[in-house]
Structure formats: structure tokens, C-alpha cells
């Protein structure tokens, strides 16, 4: 019978099948060298999550800053002890190539800037950890991958859930066949978005909730199943045509997918209501359910047929919502230091964007 497992036991079990990144498999002595990061864009995800996560990790440190807001740079440079010579504006960013004290950049910019700064960073010889969604469209994704390959730098898309214990355990159970055959998958993620934010403008975001929050459910289904959808059908809608948030983007998206194995899925995402994120995988031998895609409190429920089993693997966090960013930063840093392959690579981001393009096409969106 399955019992409550802590994170250390999950790490041990996952390591046995070789799916958990080294940074999670073992905590070893502090390294003699760390990867030196310059966050590009000093918004909430950089300042409240990635930067503290890197500082709490073992393998990375913040040695540079890139922003168009001098007040943010001044404050954060003092906090992280970043010298003036390692602080850049968007206009001076390209000169980062001359700075040997910066190895990599973290791109926490609006979606429409991901491709530009990934390519410019690669041309400057810096490794790139870029937030999801990877870019605005397939052409940009392909350009980002090509630029990083040409410059021989690493490109990782920040799918932090790929490194999270509940997602890893769900993938292990499903891909091992321990739960039988996958028959159907349900997924959802959404929230009631504020007025006047950049994510409600298509020119910055590329789309609505699908690009921002629905991508979690889409990516999780692909991740745990290990297959790419072969057929997609979708609908989108705006409930209140007078709502200023949805003059440029969709409010809701619902889509279904069929996978080569025969498994089918049904998923929804919204910017018009709070919708708790989850992925529920119905297997011939039971149900595997991931609850949440947030920065903390993600849990895994497993029910084996006829046994009513419940397993809770809620991941610990430090109350600040940065624990997953510690793992993410350390994982990418170790890949840079050891020159090892990245699992949530640029190609992974491209596959999500390929599916998103098909969803929008089926829902009737042009361009």
C-alpha cells in the first residue's frame, strides 16, 4: 500500500529510474564555482522568485542586472552586491558580451521580448534560462534554438514543474505502466486577471490564458504521458464583450487532444474566474491527480483501482514561494557547469508552441 512520502523518499525513488535531475537526486558539498546570472527584466518573477531562489541555491549567484528602471537597479544592486559595471539597460545589453563575470541570463520579460533577448544573449555568448511561454510563435522559437546552437550556449525553458516532486512521481507511475493504460486526461488552470496588465494585450502576451496559465495543463499532459498530440479540437470565447480585459485576447479556451496511444484529453483555461489548476489522469488501473501548478503546495493524489489509496506528496517550501526556483536555478547551473543536456530545452518549448498554434487555429484565431 502506498503511504505518505516525504520529498527525500520521492527523490530516492525517482533517482532509481533516472528521471530526477542530479540537483534533486543529491545535495553534495558546495561547489568551488558558481554560475553567475544577470536577470533580464526586474519584474515580480525575477525579483520575488528567481533571484531569491538562486541566492538560496548552491550553484548560482546573481552578479548582474538588466532593467530599464534605474530605481529597481539601484535597490537590487545594493541587496545583491552587484557592482555598477555589471548593471545594464536594454540599450546597453549587448555589451554584456565583454563581461567575464556573467555566465548566463534569466529572461523574465513579457512574452514578446523573449526571442529578442534570448538571441541577443546567445550572440553575447551567455547561456539562457527563459520563462515560458517560450515565444510568441513558432518562427521565434526556431530562431531562438538556432541562435543558441550557433553560439554553443545552453537554452532552457523555465518549466519548473518538470523538476517538481509530484510531477516527477506522476510521470514515473504513468510511464512505468504501474497504473495500467492511460485512457483519459482532464486538466484546467485559470484565474481572474486584473485590469490594465500587459497580459491582456496580445502584442505583449501573444494570446490570453492559454499562453500564460493553460500552458501548464497542456505541458503537464505531454510530460507525464510522453507523447505529442496527433489531433486537436478547440473553442474560445469572451463572455462579456464589454469587458476591457478581453478586447484583444480570448477570455476562455477549451480544447481536446488525441494522442497516438489512443488516450484522449479535455482541458480548459480562463482569465475570467479563479480556476484551481489540476491534471487528472484516468488509467485502467486507477487515477493519478496532480493538484496545482503554483509556486508551492503542489500535491499528488493516487488511487489504485479497488484499493482507495491516497498519497500526498505536497512539496515543502519556505513560505516564500521560491523553493521550486532554487531547484530550477541549481539544475540549470549544474548543466552549465558540467556541460550536460537540458531536459526542458528549447525543443520542449517549441513543442508546446506547436500545440498552442493548433489550438488557436482550431478555435478560429487567425495569425
Instruction: Please name the residue ranges forming H helices in the chain.
Output: 7-16, 22-25, 44, 51-56, 70-80, 114-123, 138-151, 165-176, 202-205, 209, 215-225, 323-338, 346-363
Query: Which residue reads 469572451 in cell numbers?
Result: 238
132 is catalytic: yes
Per the residue annotation, which of 34, 126, 132, 154 is the catalytic one? 132
216 is catalytic: yes
Per the residue annotation, which of 59, 88, 216, 271 is the catalytic one? 216
Beta carbons of 349 and 200 less than 8 angstroms apart: no
Beta carbons of 107 and 133 less than 8 angstroms apart: no
Bridge partners for 301 per DSSP: 289
Question: CA-CA distance, 253 to 268, in Å (whole number)?
Answer: 6
Question: CA-CA distance, 21 to 331, in Å (whole number)?
Answer: 7
Q: Which residues contact 280 (CB under 8 A, 6 or more apart)?
A: 185, 186, 187, 287, 288, 289, 290
Burial class (CB in 10 A: 0-12, 13-18, 19+), 35: buried
DSSP H or E segment with residue 229: none
Beta carbons of 132 and 106 less than 8 angstroms apart: no
Residues classed as catalytic = 132, 216
Amino acid at each position: 500500500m502506498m503511504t505518505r512520502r516525504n520529498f527525500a523518499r520521492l527523490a530516492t525513488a525517482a533517482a532509481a529510474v533516472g528521471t530526477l535531475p542530479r540537483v534533486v537526486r543529491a545535495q553534495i558539498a558546495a561547489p568551488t564555482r558558481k554560475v553567475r546570472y544577470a536577470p533580464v527584466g526586474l519584474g515580480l518573477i525575477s525579483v520575488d522568485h528567481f533571484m531569491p531562489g538562486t541566492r538560496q541555491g548552491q550553484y548560482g549567484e546573481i552578479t548582474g542586472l538588466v532593467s530599464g528602471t534605474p530605481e529597481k537597479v539601484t535597490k537590487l544592486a545594493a541587496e545583491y552586491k552587484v557592482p555598477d559595471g555589471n548593471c545594464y539597460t536594454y540599450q546597453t545589453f549587448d555589451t554584456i558580451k565583454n563581461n567575464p563575470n556573467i555566465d548566463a541570463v534569466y529572461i523574465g520579460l513579457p512574452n514578446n521580448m523573449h526571442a529578442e533577448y534570448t538571441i541577443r544573449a546567445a550572440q553575447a555568448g551567455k547561456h539562457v534560462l527563459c520563462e515560458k511561454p517560450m515565444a510568441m510563435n513558432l518562427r521565434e522559437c526556431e530562431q531562438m534554438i538556432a541562435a543558441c546552437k550557433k553560439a554553443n550556449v545552453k537554452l532552457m525553458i523555465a518549466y519548473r514543474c518538470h523538476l517538481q516532486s509530484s510531477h516527477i512521481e506522476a510521470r514515473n507511475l504513468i510511464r512505468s505502466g504501474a497504473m495500467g493504460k492511460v485512457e483519459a486526461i482532464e486538466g484546467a488552470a485559470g484565474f481572474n486577471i486584473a485590469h490594465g496588465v500587459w497580459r491582456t494585450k496580445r502584442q505583449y502576451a501573444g494570446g490570453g490564458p492559454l499562453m500564460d496559465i493553460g500552458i501548464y495543463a497542456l505541458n503537464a499532459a505531454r510530460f507525464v504521458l510522453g507523447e505529442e498530440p496527433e489531433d486537436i479540437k478547440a473553442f474560445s470565447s469572451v463572455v462579456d464583450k464589454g469587458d476591457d480585459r478581453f478586447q484583444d485576447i480570448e477570455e476562455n479556451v477549451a480544447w481536446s487532444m488525441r494522442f497516438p496511444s489512443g488516450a484522449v484529453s479535455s482541458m480548459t483555461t480562463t482569465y475570467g474566474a479563479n480556476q484551481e489548476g489540476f491534471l487528472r489522469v484516468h488509467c485502467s488501473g486507477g487515477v493519478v491527480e496532480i493538484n496545482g501548478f503554483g509556486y508551492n503546495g503542489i500535491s499528488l493524489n493516487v488511487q489504485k483501482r479497488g484499493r482507495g489509496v491516497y498519497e500526498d506528496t505536497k512539496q515543502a517550501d519556505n513560505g516564500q514561494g521560491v523553493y521550486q526556483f532554487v531547484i530550477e536555478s541549481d539544475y540549470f547551473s549544474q548543466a552549465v557547469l558540467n556541460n550536460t543536456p537540458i531536459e526542458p530545452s528549447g525543443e520542449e518549448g517549441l513543442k508546446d508552441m506547436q500545440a498552442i498554434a493548433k489550438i488557436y487555429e482550431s478555435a478560429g484565431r487567425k495569425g
